[in-house]
Amino acid sequence: MGRFDGQPILISGAGRGLGEGIARHLAAEGALVGVADIQVDNARAIAASIRDAGGQAFAYGGDLGQRGQYFSVAEAFRYDAGPLRAVINNASVLVYEPIEDVTEETLDRMLSAGLKSVFWGVQAFLAYRDEDAPGSIINYSSPVAYRGRPNTGAYTTIKAGIAGLTKVLAGELGPRGIRVNAIAPGSVPTPATEGFVTAEQYAQRAKGIPLRRNGTPGDVAKAVSFLLSDDAEFINGAMLAVDGGIIAAG
């Protein structure tokens, strides 16, 4: 038996990268996975691949920075899989650029995908959760929220906001049986970072990480799985660094 047998878990931005890795990992542990992504073809391909491997997955397309679309996805998942046990707010848009180059369009897009979607994900979870079982919400922060990395002004603002919001929600929703935690993945090569970080730059980053390697989607998926599991049933409001020691080393 898997740790999450029969538990409906909705993952935003799961059509590639870290979200995809988490979807595959949780499905292998028995979860009923909701693969939601703005690129619906990606979501469908991932869900089909999970089913081919013997897991259970459902695909949904939508701009999850839009409240109505997030609610529509959550409602459809509730209909397909049952009341939600957890939501993982993974969706994000990554742009690295000097502060003077940040445009209104870029900032709006990043805030919508990376921060507004967290609010709507929490609200949608509250609307469609299984009220007879403990609930869990996992948000994504980043080491940049704790270290001032140049050219990440918009991204850092969003990830620092998520760190604060996670603490607020842990206190606000804890009395309702809902644990809210966040992870801070470090340097993890994914398709989302290909246009901003080269292979050579990743190799250089690895030299500065205490464990002397970059992370993998599997590292992140295992951390998320732990936070969702009964092994973490008294962990609420935590920020779990999955970064090889980047934050700790300063």
The first and second tokens of residue 8, run together, are: 């409906």
**152 within 8 A of 137, measured Cβ to Cβ:** no
Neighbours of 38 (CB within 10 A): 20
- pLDDT per residue over 109-161, tens digit each? 999 999 999 999 999 999 999 999 999 999 999 998 988 888 989 999 999 99
Question: In the chain, what are the domain boundaries?
Answer: 8-249
pLDDT at 200: 86
Q: Give yes or no: 146 in active site.
A: no
pLDDT at 186: 85
| Residue ranges for the chain with pLDDT beneath 70 | 1, 192, 195
pLDDT at 148: 80
pLDDT at 204: 86
pTM over 0.75: yes
Place of tokens 């599997």: 218
The count of residues in the chain is 250
Domain 8-249: give its CATH code. Answer: 3.40.50.720
Spot the catalytic one: 60, 79, 155, 202.
155
Exposure class string for 148-162: b at 16+ Cβ within 10 A, else e: eeeebbbbbbbbebb
